[in-house]
Chains A and B, each alone.
Chain A
Amino acid sequence: MLAYIIRRVAYAFPILFGVNVALFSLFFFVNSPDVMARQNLGEKRVTPEQIENWKREHGYHLPRFFNAGETGWSKLTQTIFWQKSMRLFIFDFGKSDSDNSRIGEAVCRRVPYSLFVTIPIFLIGMAIGLVFAVLAAFYRATYIDAALLVVCVFLMSIPLMLYILAGQYLLAIVLKLTPISGFARPLWIALKFLVLPVIIGVVAEFGSGVRYDRTIFLEEINKDYVRTARAKGLGEVAVLFKHALKNAMIPILTSVVVAVPFLMTGSLLLEKFFGIPGMGNYLIDAIHRQDFAIVRAMVFLGSVLYVGALIAVDVSYTLVDPRVRLK
């Protein structure tokens, strides 16, 4: 299996290199360093000298791919592509274009805040989703199942934005039970700020989660081993929770493992509306400020996490399903 993982990691490099080149082209051809300088220097009284100074100080004065004025390896290394893009591979994200802060450190600082929100939503949502999916399977083809499905489809049809606004209005403004937004340190103080976004996140994910899990359970409970278990006289609760649940976990695990890395990137809308200083907020701020150094780093990080998640899914199959062997 180790050889398989190494091979998959090696395969990931050309993909990430491709992402890097595409990113570079997008940011440096469509948006020239001169424009980036103007955007960062503001609208008022920007002189050509200031633009040159800004480019010089941020390393954008170099040629894009090939520096004919240098010698040896420097022809390649003293270029924007090498200095800005290649070093992303060693997770050196450089400095923000707008405030010179270190992007890597900001990422490390913000990931926990995103996790404070996304992990409870993920775990509570998964637990509630599973319970209701099992219930739906238990009451399959009854009015309860049908009603649950209608509720799920209804909840799925509502955009997250509406959940946020309605949740804030109801719980914070009308009932005055939770702060409408904000964040504080340490974590035990932050808890009161997390209640509302977590409730909203769980409710918003409820419909799709239950429907997905229910489909898998229904598929499982029609299989032969379930029929055998019932024939042996096991009760429905034991059949569902002891036998069907274990086997249903394989496809559920796939969706879960893929989602785990993205817990770190946070929720753009939730973080923005609730003022949670996580990764989603960081990315939105960067887009708002047109800070392409941060946006570039975030896109690259997202692609790394995605590739990593796919490898993790493959590996996780072997852990939960003895029939799967990686070669």
Chain B
Amino acid sequence: MNGFRRFLPRSFFILHSSLFLFLSACSNNPYRPGEAAKPVYFSSFDEPPSKMDPARAYYSHEGEIIGQIYEPPLTYHFLKRPYEVIPLTAAEPPKPTYYGNDGKVLDDSDPPADLVARVEYTVRLKRGILYQNHPCFAKDADGAPCYRNVKPADIERFEWPTDFERQGARELRARDYALQIRRLADPRLTCPIFSTIEQYMEGMSELQKAYTAMLEEIRKKRKDAKGAAYNQEKDEKDDPILLDYMKPDLPGVEVLDDYAYRIVLKRKYPQILYWLCMHFFGPMPQEALDFYTQPAMAEKQFSINRCPVGTGPYYLKVFRPNELIVLERNPNYHEDFYPTDGNPGDAEAGLLADAGQRLPFIRTQYYHSEKEAITHWHKFLSGYYDASGIANDVFDKAVNISRLEGPQLSDSMIAQGIRLITDVDTSLFYLSFNMLDNVVGGYDEKRAKLRRAVSIAMDSNEFLNIFLNGRGIAAQGPIPPGIFGYRSGEEGTNPFVSAWDPKTRRHVRRPLETARKLMEEAGYPGGVGPDGKPLTLYYDHSQGGDTAFRAQVDWTRKKMALIGIRLEERGTDLTRYREKRQQGNWQLGGGGWLADYPDPENFLFLFYGPNREAQKDGPNMTNYENKEFDDLFGKMESMGNTLDRQNIIDRMVAIIQRDAPAVWQFHPVSFALTHRWYRNVKPHQMSYNVMRYKRVEPGLRIERQNEWNRPMLWPVVLLAVILLAGAVPAAVVVYRKERGL
């Protein structure tokens, strides 16, 4: 029992000390002390970027990182709407030179597309733009690269390229852009925009064939050398293949000198300027490819896909995709200034307070891994994140939707000084009819009436209220707000499906009676077909496991039932669903499109006949084909944003509103919340390179964080006292039992 007696006071001491230490270190602050007092930005990511090679990255969470590192020649104005293309590394936006079939320059500055046989764009670069510091540019006294033929042991201690002792930089050259455009054709990179670019750019298809042949030759040699033990994946993992990208001819891109290159297109395609705003057309230094394709670098997993090298305002300092991403201000960043003009209202909103100042403002950006929306939300409310979206679960706590005044922040948000920023997304969600289907497809008036009846029954406003907290506007056609060609208000009404309500100033669906009458005219009075059986439609999808989607299908079923249609699901796996789509063997299906660039062509091509999905693998999911629409598309596609173009678009929209190959559902509205210390926030749907304009006030942030996050210690002390008090009688019982008392 002596041991037991000694044990008790010791354990009490240890318990008290631990409790004291724990309580003194208690705080819910996830950052190191003093970190938030610097001009840094805190945010999060739920899915880490898996592709940071500018030829491969496609999704927004990838673009948000590399868009700040790679600089294409052009970009979009930060404040002006509609979106305006401005130079970034180019001296000015390139102007097209059109050539006719006879090879001569056409005098017309905007000739008809059918007269154009070739177009040239000459991009002239600003001088003196430097890359970020990087070991790939480091050179020894003789001018030779420091890090060539390195051994694994030489770089074993480095965790990231910034750890290398020797760093260097060099000036941006036109050849870097030409190299990157060539890389888009590398079959290993499966560039997501290659199929589009090869349609327009001279020689891209041939270039890909040449690269494929070069790769096959190298692989065959390696395979012959290794015999049965050859494993392509392992072989190239250990010893990546460095292709000589510049070796094959590419008439589509020509380097004129160190500061100019020319892009040659096969036909008129003014949208190329929008592509030149994307990271796909950013620069790629040959030194980086030489550096990363060394076996020792591959061993350390240093690759262009993980460790980008660019000229942008930030460079990637830390990349732990499972934990933390840090972007640091690039000390070599070229001269770049905050815009001095914007849209009406921008100055009043304080968005021009920093006009003319040197960019970027924020020194470091921290992105922490955050898998759960709820933890992100609470960190935002605690002031540990500077901005946040609003998850459905917490929407009612953050925002009140007023019929007259629109979305308003809740009182608790206002008390915290939080601001609400909304913007209509340049995207479209729709329910597709398969125009090849015997029941819902076809182009006669009866089938069109059936589709219109379904369109009326599917009340988008109700859908938005139920599933998206009202965060969206009912779509009237394929073009979303913010894109040239969109008609707002009454003149944008789809007359077959909606009416304009001047009181609420929004579109409302026509009465169900209209839909029932259309059903009757379509040959389905009360939903009963000529065979006396109720009309049954089939919703094909591959999202059976998604509970939110299932709720939406249930809602769709109820809406269809209102006009007598029975809706049945045909859920299947993705493989089978894809096969059905490719064969055109489906009836109803969900569709959506997010703008690649701010041009109506990027939405209207979803209904262009030659783009149909069945058999042709195009983006036209509905398989809609209408000669008049297709002819108008051919004209509209290559026109500038003129009144003529608007008229053509109006006609095209009227045609598909009449034919109704889809139920136009909604354009989402994004809601963002920001703290008062986070400034210069204006939503930008097209560019990822906007963090350089943002600014934080660290003093205010620290003050608020301290105010909102004072730890509450007394419940822990109370709990400890209760536990100890409870342990005393137990100890007494043990003591008495041992002593036989």
Using a CB–CB cutoff of 8 Å, the interface residues on chain A facing chain B are 31-32, 34-35, 38-39, 41-42, 44-45, 47-50, 53-54, 56-59, 72-74, 76-78, 83, 87, 92, 94-96, 98-102, 105, 110, 135, 138-139, 144, 165, 168, 172-185, 189, 192-193, 195, 235-237, 272-273, 275, 277, 281-282, 284-285, 288-289
Contacts and interface: CB of A to CB of B under 8 A. Distances in A.
Contact of B28 (A96, A102, A178, A235): A178
Interface in B723-741: 730, 733-734, 737-738
A184 to B, nearest CB: 8
A272 B47 CA distance: 12
B320 A48 contact: no
A96 B322 CA distance: 14
Given A77-B230, A176-B711, A177-B712, 20 more contacts: A35-B575, A44-B192, A53-B187, A53-B190, A73-B227, A77-B229, A94-B234, A100-B303, A100-B305, A105-B301, A110-B322, A138-B734, A168-B374, A168-B378, A180-B375, A184-B30, A185-B323, A273-B371, A275-B369, A281-B371
A183 B27 CA distance: 14
Interface string B22-44: 11011111101000000000000
Interface string B100-129: 000000000000000000000000000000
Q: Which 7 A-B pairs have the closest CB atoms?
A: A277-B322, A99-B50, A73-B228, A179-B30, A181-B375, A177-B26, A53-B187
7 contacts: A35-B575, A38-B574, A172-B378, A177-B27, A180-B378, A183-B369, A273-B371
A253 B210 CA distance: 63
A77 B232 CA distance: 11
B59 A173 contact: no
Q: How large is the interface on B (under 10, 10 to 19, 20 to 34, 35 or more residues)?
A: 35 or more
Contact of A32 (B194, B323, B575): B575
A72 B1 contact: no
Contact of A277 (B320, B619, B734): B320
B419 to A, nearest CB: 22
Contacts of B230: 74, 77-78
Contact of B192 (A42, A48, A178): A42
Contacts of B303: 100
Given A94-B233, A99-B305, A102-B301, A181 B711 contact: no
A162 to B, nearest CB: 13
B378 to A, nearest CB: 5
Given A236-B737, A281-B371, A179 B29 contact: yes
B635 interface: no
B196 interface: yes
B543 to A, nearest CB: 12
A59 B232 contact: yes
A177 B716 contact: yes
Nearest to B618: A45
A166 to B, nearest CB: 13
A35 to B, nearest CB: 5
B406 interface: no
A195 B215 CA distance: 52
Interface string B7-25: 0000000000000001101
Contacts of B715: 175
Nearest to A181: B375
A57 B578 CA distance: 22
Contact of A83 (B231, B617, B730): B231
B28 A59 contact: no
Contact of A182 (B190, B193, B368, B733): B368
B730 A135 contact: yes
A95 B716 contact: no
Interface in B190-221: 190, 192-196
A100 B1 CA distance: 62
B237 interface: yes
A87 B231 contact: yes
Contacts of B716: 175, 177
B379 interface: yes
Q: Counting chain B CB atoms within 10 Å of each CB, which of A48, A135, A168, A175 scores highest? A: A175
A95 B237 contact: yes
B205 to A, nearest CB: 10
A180 B230 CA distance: 49
A168 B232 CA distance: 47
B30 A273 contact: no
A176 B734 contact: no
A57 B211 CA distance: 13
A72 B228 contact: yes
B709 interface: yes
B228 A281 contact: no
Given A35-B575, A172-B378, A180-B378, A277 B237 contact: no
A40 to B, nearest CB: 9
B322 A282 contact: yes
A45 B233 contact: no
Contacts of A47: 195, 617
B368 A57 contact: no
Contacts of A285: 47-48, 322
Contacts of B229: 77
Contact of B372 (A99, A177, A272): A272
Contact of A57 (B1, B188, B382): B188
The listed residue with most A CB atoms (<10 A of its CB), out of B23, B48, B187, B738, is: B187
Nearest to B44: A275
Contacts of B346: none
A77 B51 CA distance: 30
Contacts of A179: 27-30
Contact of A74 (B28, B187, B228): B228
A102 B368 CA distance: 22
Contacts of B32: 184, 189
Contacts of B231: 59, 77, 83, 87
B237 A176 contact: no
Contacts of B374: 165, 168
A34 B575 contact: yes
Nearest to A144: B730
Q: Which has the most chain B C-beta neighbours within 10 Å: A100, A135, A175? A: A100
Contact of B738 (A174, A237, A272): A237
A36 B59 CA distance: 18
A323 B237 CA distance: 51
Contacts of B301: 101-102, 105
B237 A54 contact: no
Interface in B214-267: 227-234, 237
A180 B617 contact: no
Contacts of B738: 235-237
A145 to B, nearest CB: 12
Interface in B306-324: 306, 320-324
Most buried by A among B26, B306, B375, B716: B375
A132 B257 CA distance: 80
A234 B710 CA distance: 52
Contacts of B379: 180-181
Contacts of A184: 30, 32, 324
Contact of B233 (A59, A135, A177, A195): A59
B190 A180 contact: no
Contacts of A42: 58-59, 192
Interface string B288-310: 00000000000001010110000
A181 B372 contact: yes
Nearest to A61: B232
Contacts of A83: 231-233
B462 interface: no
Contact of B51 (A59, A99, A192): A99
A277 B45 CA distance: 13
A315 B51 CA distance: 46
Contacts of A38: 574, 578
A76 B228 CA distance: 8
Contacts of B575: 31-32, 34-35
